[in-house]
Amino acid sequence: MDTHSWVLWLGILAVGLHVMEEYAEGWLVWANQQVGPRFGISFTQADFFFAAFLLIFYALAGAAIGWWAPAVSLAVPALFIVNAVFLHMVPSARGDRLTPGTLSAVFIYLPVAAWMFWAAAEDGVLSVGTVVLAFVLGTALMYYPLAVAILAKKVGWHEDLRNSADGPDGGQSAEPGGPAIETDEFSGEAGGPEEETGDSFVGGSEPATEVDDQAGEARTIVIEPDPSDEDTGILDRDPDDQPQPNQEPRQY
């Protein structure tokens, strides 16, 4: 009874060849021009490979199940027929050129699907109810990725992911050309005020110097060392700026 179920393993090869042709011929471009505007969505490579992985996985599962659940296994050839007719042959007939993947859909999908149904009939597992259920499952599997994309658009999943990518806790990260977040180099806190001790700043007695880039890309705060520090005062002080005789020393 189970002599022809090996034909189901050909479905994996058929799906792989069909996906390769669609990707090579630019299915994403065609889908975003012809299908996406109808539903207000756009397809990405992640969507394409998700659908391809789903089809390959189901074809592998159907071949492993065999005739133990013929309706589940025959959903693969039913999907081949739906895909070839409604996603390739009909759009190609309405358009001015073949849709990406039409050649493999016509010359690989349809013959393999016919072979699978013939094998089920030869092994005595094919009935009207099995065929109807197989086409229901195959059609649902075929349009499942499209339904997920439409649902994601309506629910707003893409917008939520885009907003979360802007920064942690919904914050926006710095964009190119925008001002960077100022960081106090002494305390390490972003935008924190300098700590004052007496009449001078901790980072030095001279005010901080701002270097403003003309392109507006970033602003950097440079803290000069304290000239009164014995370790760094000699190195940082200008030799020409020494106190002259009969002249009061300059206060820093």
What is the 3-state secondary structure of 115-175? HHHHHHHHCCCCCHHHHHHHHHHHHHHHHHHHHHHHHHHHHCHHHHHHHHHHCHHHCCCCC
Both tokens of 211, joined, read 């270097």
Q: Mind listing the pLDDT tens digit for each residue in 148-205?
A: 888 888 887 655 545 555 545 544 444 444 444 444 444 444 444 444 444 444 444 4
CA angle 197/203/208 to nearest 5° reads: 115
Residues with Cβ within 8 Å of residue 37, at least 6 apart in sequence: none
pLDDT for residue 154: 80
pLDDT (tens digit per residue) in 32-85: 998 889 888 889 999 899 999 999 999 999 999 999 999 999 999 999 999 999
Element (H, E) at 238: none
Nearest to 77 by CA among 3, 6, 1, 15: 15
